[in-house]
């Protein structure tokens, strides 16, 4: 079975006890999080060989993340620990429909300090599915590392998967760098976006033209989610809609 290698953000989600407009005392419970780390855990729980590459702080939250991933079967031998920065935190609030908002304590954060020199020897000696997201583009050095890692993975014969996972409040000016994010998207074979992300990234460009530009750049499959509405699947010359299961959302944190 082809392994999955997830790279980048690992952080602790501090989940609020409040839902919607609840009043009264508020507490926060720590949960292991970070979009690529969540993918690594999900794949491991499905029986897919899974590995996580990234950096955490030499602190209680970094040890918590590594232990949690390992407990679900993720290979954490590629996780690097540093004392130069703390593990990132995200305080998560939810509205009455379970939709969440984030207050990030990042930067500085340990995951932003990962460099190509930290890659384990021979990590891409065999083809894999390499998964990453735009949250590893928010500072110049980690952006260079992320784009270079995507290029190395492609040259090795691996399939590159990218989840846009746009978060304006992680960027220095409070706005996603659309050009830089698109540069990562165009390195993907498999691209996952939400409806809101497509609209943000395409700007004034017609949606079909923008999607076709991604496919022309080499993306083989684009998946667009839209909450409870049909999932759109785009391939060169083909489009398919798939209706997801109808459920009542309680908490969308880490729901993808």
255 SS3 class: coil
What does the pLDDT read at residue 252?
63
Decide if 184 contacts 165 (C-beta within 8 A).
no
Distance, CA of 126 to chain centre: 23
Determine, yes or no, domain membership for 254.
Answer: no
CATH code for the domain in which residue 170 is found: 3.40.1190.20
Q: Residue 180: name the closest of 201, 196, 161, 208 by CA.
A: 201
Determine, yes or no, domain membership for 247.
Answer: no
Determine, yes or no, domain membership for 251.
Answer: no
Determine, yes or no, domain membership for 59.
Answer: yes
What does the pLDDT read at residue 61?
97
What does the pLDDT read at residue 98?
65
Token pair for 25: 């005392």
Reply yes or no: is the peptide bond before residue 108 cis, omega within 30 of 0. Answer: yes
Nearby residues of 57 by Cβ (< 8 Å), 6 or more positions away:
81, 82, 83, 85, 86, 87, 109, 110
What does the pLDDT read at residue 253?
62
- CA–CA separation, 169 vs 201, rounded Å? 16
- Secondary structure (DSSP) of 31-62: EEE-HHHHHHHHHHHTT--EEEEEEEESSHHH
Q: How many helices (H) and strands (E) does the chain have?
A: 6, 13
What does the pLDDT read at residue 254?
58
- CA–CA separation, 26 vs 19, rounded Å? 10
Kindly tell me the burial class for residue 63, based on how many C-beta atoms sit within 10 Å of its own C-beta (0-12, 13-18, 19 or more).
middle
Q: Which residue has the tokens 């398919």?
A: 240
Domain count, the chain: 1
Each residue's pLDDT, cut to its tens digit, for the chain (256 residues) gives 999 999 999 999 999 988 877 777 889 999 999 999 999 999 999 999 999 999 999 999 999 999 999 999 999 999 999 999 999 999 988 876 667 788 899 989 999 999 999 999 999 999 999 999 999 999 999 999 999 999 999 999 999 999 999 999 999 989 999 999 999 999 999 999 999 999 999 999 999 999 999 999 999 999 999 988 999 999 999 999 999 888 876 666 655 5
Determine, yes or no, domain membership for 256.
Answer: no
Decide if 186 contacts 217 (C-beta within 8 A).
yes
Could you tell me the residue range of the domain that residue 205 belongs to? 4-242
């Amino acid at each position: 079975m082809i392994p999955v290698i997830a790279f980048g953000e690992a952080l602790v989600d501090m989940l609020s006890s409040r839902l919607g407009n609840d009043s009264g005392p508020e507490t926060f419970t720590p949960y292991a999080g970070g979009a690529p780390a969540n993918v690594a855990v999900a794949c491991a729980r499905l029986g897919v060989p899974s590995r996580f590459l990234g950096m955490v702080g030499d602190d209680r939250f970094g040890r918590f993340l590594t232990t949690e991933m390992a407990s679900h079967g993720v290979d954490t031998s590629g996780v690097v620990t540093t004392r130069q920065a703390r593990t990132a935190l995200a305080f998560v609030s939810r509205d009455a429909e379970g939709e969440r908002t984030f207050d990030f304590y990042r930067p500085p954060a340990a995951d932003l300090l990962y460099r190509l020199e930290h890659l384990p020897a021979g990590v891409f000696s065999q083809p894999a599915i390499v998964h990453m997201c735009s949250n590893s583009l928010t500072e110049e050095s980690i952006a260079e590392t992320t784009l270079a890692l995507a290029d190395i993975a492609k040259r090795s014969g691996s399939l590159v998967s990218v989840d846009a996972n746009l978060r304006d409040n992680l960027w220095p000016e409070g706005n996603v760098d659309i050009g830089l994010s698109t540069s990562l998207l165009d390195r993907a074979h498999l691209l996952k976006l939400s409806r809101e992300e497509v609209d943000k990234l395409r700007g004034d460009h017609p949606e079909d033209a923008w999607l076709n530009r991604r496919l022309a750049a080499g993306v083989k499959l684009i998946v667009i989610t839209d909450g409870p509405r049909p999932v759109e699947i785009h391939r060169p010359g083909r489009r398919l809609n798939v209706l997801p299961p109808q459920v009542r959302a309680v908490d969308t944190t880490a729901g993808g």
